[in-house]
């Protein structure tokens, strides 16, 4: 039950805030957040296994992050790096370049959102390579601004194709592939090889998520990213990795592309980069980022508060061993969910790396996607005190991305609540009328 003020705010939210900026899974009104927990305006606490769409990697309100923000706000809230540089922005750029592999000249572009980083890729690859087209993947999500939407192969973006010339190819999905992982990998690489088979092909580059995130938390088969990197080198394409969701420790490597040996020419970063203060980046070959001087600049991008928090976020991730922690606790969480899968035939697959886990729900008899059950489970989980969101081109994959500071007890509690929510959903405890306004995407 919502209290009056909560119900009133939600009504005003419905009336005033554009539907174009919403995907809602349940009613809630946020009061505050700390660590892995969020609190609603009635004082009820929820264990947050979403980390606000994989943003709160260091947890909410980490003291070092808060201190960095406050200290920088006291110095200045703003300079426009377009015309007056500040030290913290340069320091963060240096740090990011230092973390990327590759013995070529690299630079950093800063923005506020992953989408703006996607726009840079859409705008600049064709110019830097002097070829018009880009390859991306069906089901991929690179953002919602026009260029980023054009790169994407997700239903949330497909109505906006802009003027970017694209080829969208299937992303390998071992769970839904009729054959072994090697065959899955080879067949999907062959599709791309065919596109590039003419020496006068007109592709400038290829952009890929190292784990297809909003497309369903799909981990590609071993060797697939290496194969892509090799094809890009062989046919002279830029190989671009989108780390906006998977980056900054989440998958048990600092960057998810490090699970493979293929070296990217450019990497898109965002979301957890400054623990939720808007900040994104592309780190990559100078020839790409310098392709059009003054060609992709936003007045407040790379502002000193966001960059100071970005530096503090990296320090926390490194000093507190959050990358290793994600690998260790992610394995525990995955194991716990896999044990549930043995008892619930509605769980078709549990997959992921580190603390980026997908649970795909199916109709057991047909293995068809079960989006209705997923929506009910997330709704019920919230009532029980666990925050879960869902993704997937068939809206049937629960995305589990807790803050990387999650501990053993919280993981055990999360698994317990997940099971209870699933059992309750199967027992019909979620009414269609309650769920109707919260049907996600």
Ligand X SMILES: Cc1ncc(COP(=O)(O)O)c(C=O)c1O
Binding interface with ligand X (CB under 6 A): 53, 113-115, 118, 141-143, 209, 213-214, 242, 244-245, 270-271
> 306: which 2 tokens?
């966001």
* CB-based contact 289:109 (threshold 8 Å): yes
Query: Is 409 in a helix, a strand, or coil?
Result: helix
Specify which residues 35 forms β-bridges with: 60
- The DSSP-derived string for 302-351 is T-HHHHHHHHHHHHHHHHTTHHHHHHHHHHHHHHHHHHHHHH-TTEEEEE
141 catalytic? Reply is yes
**CB-based contact 171:140 (threshold 8 Å):** yes
Instruction: Name the one residue in this structure whose structure tokens are 């994989």.
Output: 54
Adjacent-strand bridge partners of 212: 218
Residue (360 or 410) nearer to ligand X, CB = 360
Compare residues 115 and 396 and give the one whose CB is closer to ligand X: 115
Residue closest to 157 by CA, chosen among 168, 165, 171, 146 = 146
State the Cα torsion 134-137-140-145 to the nearest 10°.
Answer: 20
Question: Please, what is the minimum distance in Å from the beta carbon of residue 115 to ligand X?
Answer: 3
Residue nearest to ligand X (CB): 114
- Angle (nearest 5°) at CA 244 between 164 and 93: 100
The CB-of-246 to ligand X minimum distance in angstroms stands at: 7
- Which of residues 143 and 227 has its CB atom nearest to ligand X in the complex? 143
- For residue 112, the minimal CB distance to ligand X (Å) is 8
Q: H-helix or E-strand containing 165? A: strand 165-169
Alpha helix segments (H runs only) across 131-243 = 146-151, 181-195, 224-234
Catalytic residue among 141, 171, 238, 239: 141
Strands 266-269 and 238-242: parallel
Nearest-angstrom CA–CA distance, 402 and 135: 31
State how far the Cα of 173 lies from the Cα of 188, in Å rounded to an integer: 10
Contact yes or no for 315/76 (Cβ under 8 A): no
Instruction: Count other Cβ atoms within 10 Å, centred on residue 120.
Output: 26
Q: Minimal distance in Å, beta carbon 135 to ligand X? A: 16
Report, in Å, the least distance between residue 197 CB and ligand X. 29
Please report how close the Cβ of residue 373 comes to ligand X at its closest, in angstroms.
23
User: Which uninterrupted H or E stretch holds 362?
Assistant: strand 356-363
Name the residue nearer to ligand X (CB basis): 115 or 260. Answer: 115
**Residue closer to ligand X, measured from CB, 110 or 421:** 110
Give the tokens for residue 76: 């200045």
Minimum Å gap between C-beta 191 and ligand X is: 21
Which of 118, 304 has the CB closer to ligand X? 118
Residue with Cβ nearer ligand X (74 or 159): 159
Residue 128, φ and ψ in degrees, nearest 5: -65, -35
Active site residues: 141
């Amino acid at each position: 039950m919502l209290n009056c003020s909560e119900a009133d705010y939600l009504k005003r939210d419905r009336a005033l805030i554009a539907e174009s900026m919403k995907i809602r899974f349940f009613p809630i009104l946020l009061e505050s957040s700390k660590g892995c927990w969020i609190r609603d305006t009635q004082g009820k606490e929820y264990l947050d296994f979403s980390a606000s769409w994989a943003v709160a990697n260091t947890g909410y309100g980490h003291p070092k992050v808060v201190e960095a923000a406050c200290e920088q706000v006291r110095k200045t809230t703003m300079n426009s790096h377009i015309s007056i540089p500040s030290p913290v922005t340069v320091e963060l750029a240096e740090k990011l370049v230092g973390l990327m592999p590759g013995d070529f000249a690299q630079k950093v572009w800063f923005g506020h959102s992953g989408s703006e980083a996607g726009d840079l890729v859409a705008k600049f690859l064709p110019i830097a390579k002097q070829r018009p087209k880009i390859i991306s993947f069906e089901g991929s999500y690179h953002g919602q601004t026009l260029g980023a939407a054009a790169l994407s192969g997700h239903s949330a973006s497909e109505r906006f194709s802009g003027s970017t010339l694209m080829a969208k190819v299937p992303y390998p999905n071992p769970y839904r592939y009729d054959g072994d992982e090697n065959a899955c990998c080879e067949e999907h690489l062959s599709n791309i090889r065919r596109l590039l088979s003419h020496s006068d092909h007109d592709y400038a580059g290829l952009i890929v998520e190292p784990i297809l995130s909003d497309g369903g938390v799909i981990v590609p088969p071993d060797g697939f990213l290496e194969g892509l990197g090799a094809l890009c080198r062989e046919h002279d394409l830029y190989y671009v990795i989108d780390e906006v969701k998977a980056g900054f420790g989440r998958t048990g490597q600092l960057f998810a592309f490090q699970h493979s040996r293929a070296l990217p020419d450019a990497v898109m970063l965002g979301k957890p980069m400054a623990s939720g203060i808007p900040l994104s980046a592309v780190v990559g070959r100078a020839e790409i980022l310098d392709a059009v001087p003054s060609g992709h600049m936003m007045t407040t991008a790379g502002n000193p508060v966001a960059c100071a928090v970005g530096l503090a976020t990296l320090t926390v991730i490194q000093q507190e061993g959050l990358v290793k922690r994600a690998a260790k606790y992610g394995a525990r969480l995955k194991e716990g969910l896999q044990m549930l899968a043995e008892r619930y035939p509605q769980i078709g697959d549990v997959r992921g790396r580190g603390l980026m886990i997908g649970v795909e729900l199916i109709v057991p008899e047909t293995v068809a996607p079960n989006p209705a059950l997923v929506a009910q489970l997330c709704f019920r989980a919230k009532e029980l005190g666990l925050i879960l969101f869902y993704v997937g081109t068939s809206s049937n994959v629960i995305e589990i991305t807790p803050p990387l500071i999650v501990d053993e007890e919280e993981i055990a509690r999360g698994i317990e609540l997940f099971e209870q929510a699933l059992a309750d959903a199967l027992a019909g405890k979620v009414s269609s009328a309650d769920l109707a306004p919260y049907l996600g995407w």
